[in-house]
Structure 1
Amino acid sequence: MRPPPGCLEVRLLAKQETLGQRRADFKAGLRAYGLITLGVLIFALGMNFFLAPNKIAAGGVSGLSVVLLHTFGFPPGITMLVLNIPLFLFGARVLGASFGARSVFGFVTLSLAVDGTAPFLPTLTEDPLLASLYGGVLMGIGSGLTYRVGGSTGGTAIAARLISHYTNMSVGRALLIADGVVILAAGVAFGPELALYGLLAVFLTMRVVDLLEEGAPYVKAALIVTDVAEEISAKIISDLGRGVTSMPAQGMYTKQDRNLLFVTLYQDQVGTLKQLVHEVDPDAFVVITDVHEALGEGFRSLR
């Protein structure tokens, strides 16, 4: 018995919509991994052209790898990979699977890019000030591009999240402490002057990342208008480890009842949030805004 013509048309339309969504998701994923690859290559250029040959440790795992390169001769890319893997595994265990495949791709590709390009890149300047300026800017551009699509270069960003998880300290302050430890190690290894240049490079990197992330505050808030609030909330809770508040809302133009979700999250989780919302509800409306201060569970203590 043949199905009614109308049912066949509905099935064909549904199949076309599914195929169209898959193509769109594939293109979005391809763009994301392309931007991550571009970002880590720019990051590697900043390290190999400017920072590593001039003994400037710009904080983080990359800065620590520069210290170990000039102290023990360890290849910086391999050092970064060896340090990032346990950080990632411990972070995923404690904080949940909020880092995702893009973060793994990011720090693994970065390690390969740093060691793979080093033999072919000359030192562009031996002036530590110029090296700090240009190296910091390039690393900031690379990191910012990676963060925008939910990727990560690993390192002290994960360590800072772990410190914040076990203490009442904000992530921003924990990040400064983690980077500060690396700067101190560079001061012991290379002297105070080069450590100060490293501090300058850290500042420039963070400022450029802030500009690319469209806002300096490390904490963001998201408002999501959707018809599938339960599914999106479940994904946010499981993938990002963040709480969600749901409120009833009505579109004043369409007069349709919908759900409004409110989420507070870290800046480096914004890319992952946009990705998962798009996967669950491509028609959702999302607003991302800056948060001056977040107090309570998952952030700084109210005390």
Structure 2
Amino acid sequence: MKQIVKNGLEIIFGAMLYAIAINYFLIPNRIGEGGVTGLTTIGYYTLRITPALTNLVLNGIILIIGFRYLPQRTIFYTFWAILWISIFLKLPVLWPYQTNQTLIATLAGGVLMGVSMGLIFRANGTIAGSTILAKIVNRYLGIRNGSAMLFFDLIVAIPSGLVIGFQNMLLTVIELYVSAVVLNKYLDAFGAKRSVLVFSERNQAIGKALSEQLGKGVTMIQAKGFYSQKNEDVLYYICSSKDWTTVIPIISSVDPHALVVTDQIRSVRGWHVADL
């Protein structure tokens, strides 16, 4: 329950930043977006349809696709995100940022978009639209969320030039690129997993220390040195970026001379029985 409340509050904060990016930076400067958000801005520019209504209806339709490919937990959090984004989009806009230096609004909107989606993604949700498709691609193909989302967003953003003009279309592409880069960096820093390979004669003791102090399972792989022809255990461990800062000190405290190889993981599917 504590984790559900934490994720729910994190999504609300992300939804608020998302709505601020749209209502205070993008729409006042006639900058588009990608995916469903791009369609909401086009609907506003052409027919004056409120973005809150378009966001709720279109994302509700796309959410049905997620039932087939994503966990129910993600669908629940996505519905929660859509609800709060629609609420924040509906609030009165007090001081919209309008400027002739539209590149400033573009960069500010892109950064806010990237951070907001990072918060929502890290809380196991999406904002539906292209982010659901990005989550599906990430889960099954391992492509980074921001990169996949950028691809789907451009499908909407480039044709939007017919409505918002060629210059603003280029600004939209810049905004999408910035948000994708920020999203990838945010998830790499706070949400990515890391793998650790440890080569040591004391791997049994290292595995026990990691398991006891971090409360997660450790895998031992049987390996054989090519030169020495000696059989040995190689320790394999997957952890969050937060835990990774404590993994290396734990290993060094047991064996200061252990050979440690680390790598960043783009996607992790399923759970090993030892981790449950």
Q: TM-score range by the shorter chain?
A: 0.5 to 0.7
Do structure 1's residue 179 and structure 2's residue 179 form an aligned pair? no
Are 1:141 and 1:212, in contact at CA under 8 Å, matched by a contact in 2? yes
Are 1:186 and 1:194, in contact at CA under 8 Å, matched by a contact in 2? no
Give, as a single letter, the amino acid of the residue that structure 2 aligns with 1:141.
V
In 2, Cα distance between equivalents of 1:68 and 1:255: 53
SS in 2 for 1:109: helix
Tell me which residue corresponds to 1:82: 57
Aligned-pair distance for 1:49?
1.0
Aligned-pair distance for 1:83?
1.0
Tell me which residue corresponds to 2:207: 251
Give, as a single letter, the amino acid of the residue that structure 1 aligns with 2:80.
F
Do structure 1's residue 134 and structure 2's residue 90 form an aligned pair? no
Aligned-pair distance for 1:103?
1.8
Do structure 1's residue 55 and structure 2's residue 30 form an aligned pair? yes
- The TM-score, its normalising length taken from structure 1, stands at 0.61
In 1, Cα distance between equivalents of 2:188 and 2:113: 17
For structure 2, the 5+ residue unaligned runs are: 197-203, 220-236, 241-262, 269-276
In 2, Cα distance between equivalents of 1:255 and 1:99: 28
- Counting only pairs closer than 5 Å after superposition, residues 200-279 of structure 1 correspond to structure 2 as 200-215=174-189, 251-253=207-209, 259-260=217-218
- Tell me how many residue pairs correspond in the alignment: 221
Q: CA 1:112–1:253 in 2, change beyond 3 Å: closer, same or farther?
A: closer
Do structure 1's residue 70 and structure 2's residue 22 form an aligned pair? no
SS in 2 for 1:251: helix
In 2, Cα distance between equivalents of 1:94 and 1:40: 23
Tell me which residue corresponds to 1:114: 89
Do structure 1's residue 105 and structure 2's residue 80 form an aligned pair? yes
Q: 2:131 aligns with which of 157, 167, 170?
A: 157
- The TM-score, its normalising length taken from structure 2, stands at 0.66
In 2, Cα distance between equivalents of 1:214 and 1:192: 33
Tell me which residue corresponds to 2:264: 290
Are 1:57 and 1:182, in contact at CA under 8 Å, matched by a contact in 2? no
In 2, Cα distance between equivalents of 1:116 and 1:70: 18
In 1, Cα distance between equivalents of 2:179 and 2:211: 46
Runs ≥4 residues deviating over 6 A: 163-166
Are 2:52 and 2:90, in contact at CA under 8 Å, matched by a contact in 1? yes
**CA deviation vs aligned residue, 1:154-202 (integer Å, no higher than 9, x gap):** 2201134557899x79576653331111112221211221111001111
Do structure 1's residue 32 and structure 2's residue 10 form an aligned pair? no
Are 2:139 and 2:267, in contact at CA under 8 Å, matched by a contact in 1? no
For structure 1, the 5+ residue unaligned runs are: 1-24, 224-247, 262-284, 295-303
Same amino acid, percent of matched pairs = 25
SS in 1 for 2:105: helix
SS in 2 for 1:185: coil
In 2, Cα distance between equivalents of 1:210 and 1:52: 24
SS in 2 for 1:99: helix
Q: CA 1:209–1:292 in 2, change beyond 3 Å: closer, same or farther?
A: closer
Aligned-pair distance for 1:60?
2.5
